[in-house]
Amino acid sequence: MNIIIASNNQGKISEYSQLLATVGFSRVLSLEQAGINCVPEENGSSFEQNAVIKARALKELCGADHAVIADDSGLEIDALGGQPGIYSARFGGLKSDFDRNALVLQKLEGVPKNERGARFVCVICFILPDGEEITVRGECDGYIGFEPLGDNGFGYDPIFMYNQAPFCERSFAQINAADKNKISHRAKALDALLCELKMRRS
């Protein structure tokens, strides 16, 4: 069974392909590979709403022959009242990861470590060929560091400090991709999705 993902990110597509193959989805197609242009307005007030908006818009375009999957993710910082949240990719109206990280660090200047709690959130909406929807959520807890660390990853990875073994006190940008994909918010959401799909197959 084929599935179309609301993304053209090859890293994300590869990750989804490997995991979804275990539950019978033999091929994962990007929007480009499927010949679909789908850029709906993400005007929801939560990660859940935006993931559903993207998945439903894609499902309307590809019909009953395919399953579809879409996700929405971001960073929530306790000391900033949950910001940047669903606006993570455009926080402060800034265009670069470097500038957005600098803005976060500026806003947290003087805030002690024990008040810099944060979490990455990923919500996945999966729509089966028959239209049944499954929505799952994954979170990864940590805190915001005091300076960017590491050269791996993207987005807020250099300032997001992981605080669980075996990677305590390391930023996401200091953890290699293979290890990060085992502990990340997306990995946890995908695990939840796979459990749901396996239950339906049993």
- Does the global pTM surpass 0.85? yes
Report the C-alpha gap between 192 and 7 in whole angstroms: 20
pLDDT at 84: 98
**In the chain, what percentage of residues exceed pLDDT 70?**
99
Close Cβ partners of 108 (under 8 Å, ≥ 6 residues apart): 77, 79, 80, 116, 144
pLDDT in tens, 34-47: 999 988 888 999 99
Left if phi > 0, otherwise alpha if psi is -120 to 50, otherwise beta: which for 194? alpha
Tens of pLDDT, residue by residue over 178-188, are 888 889 998 89
Residues of the chain with pLDDT under 50: none
Which sign does the torsion angle of CA 192, 118, 78, 16 carry? negative
What span, in angstroms and rounded, lies between the C-alpha atoms of 57 and 130? 15
Per the listing, tokens 């239209």 go with 131
CATH fold label, 2-201: Maf protein (3.90.950)
**Residue the block writes with tokens 């993304």:** 7
pLDDT of residue 53: 96
Q: What is the pLDDT, as a whole number, of residue 65?
A: 81
Of the candidates 49, 41, 14, the residue with the CA atom closest to the CA atom of residue 137: 49
* Closest to 75 (Cα-Cα) out of 97, 49, 106: 97
In this prediction, residue 49 carries a pLDDT of 97
Q: Rounded to whole angstroms, what are the CA distances from 40 to 27, 37, 54, 59?
A: 24, 10, 6, 12
By annotation, the residues acting in catalysis are 72
Per-residue model confidence (pLDDT) at position 19: 75
Q: What is the pLDDT of residue 202?
A: 63
Mean pLDDT rounded to a whole number for the chain: 91
